[in-house]
Amino acid sequence: MTDKVIAYQGVEGAYSHLACQNAFPHSRSIACESFEDAMELVENRTADLAMIPVENSTAGRVEEIYRLIPKSSLFIVDEHFEPVNHCLLGIPGSTREGIRYVASHPQALAQCYKNILDGNLTAVARFDTAGSAREIRDKNEPAWAAIASKLAAELYGLEILEEYFGDLRGNVTRFIVLSRENTIPKLETDKAYITSVIFQVRDIPAALFKALGGFATNGVNLLKLESYSMTGSLQVSRFHIDIEAHPDEEHLKRAMDELRYFAKEIKYLGVYEKHPGRENYKLI
């Protein structure tokens, strides 16, 4: 996919920026202050796509995204898995032993929690990883460090004090790619697909059990089930499911017929190819 404009949350050097470069190497990336801003750029046609993180193998889901997607008019057209290697970065001349404070995005701090604790460091939450690196550069104090990528170190002239600062090796973040167009790929038997749907169950006993039962009886695998309360209520829940099937497959058609009987406000979020390396990643 060439000559596309991809919006992402963060500043240059953020992991979302890296994901854009790796997934769409011939496209242009636009940095945004928030996930909502990135999605809005696609909605108003300033950008073609948005690269949005949804879960991490160490820190779990990015809950904010599951609340934003139902409000959006965008569709999921692809998924991307980006390896995350957190580096401890300091200003030139600083030392690992001299660091007292470490700044980064809350997700990155959570993914480095044990090393932060073992190092007796004070964690300081910031808007994003690369933004923290830029702040450390501007602060220019040897007691401060940032958790960010190698790319951020290069962009902001920082030294890598510890290259593998994350608590776990093999850390990876799953991104979804959002588009204005609901592009549904044609079913091909040699490919695997994911269909993402959100719905609300009817107010009847065991409604969720009955709604999901159709997937089991028709042999349809669910890759993800997320639930969250709808705005203004603690009693009404919305459910997000990722289904390992294409809507044109007969067993999914039958399962969706059963879902419609027990659920309401069903919305298709998108149909896209399953990432070929997904089995190599173990997400929470």
Question: Where in the sequence numbering do the catalytic residues fall?
Answer: 173, 175
Q: What number of other Cβ atoms are within 10 A of residue 142's Cβ?
A: 15
**DSSP letter string over 215-267?**
HHHTTPPEEEEEEEEPTT-SS-EEEEEEESS-TTSHHHHHHHHHHHHHEEEEE
Q: Are residues 166 and 85 in contact, defined by beta-carbon separation less than 8 angstroms?
A: yes
- The backbone torsions φ and ψ at residue 125, rounded to the nearest 5 degrees and listed phi first, read -75, 135
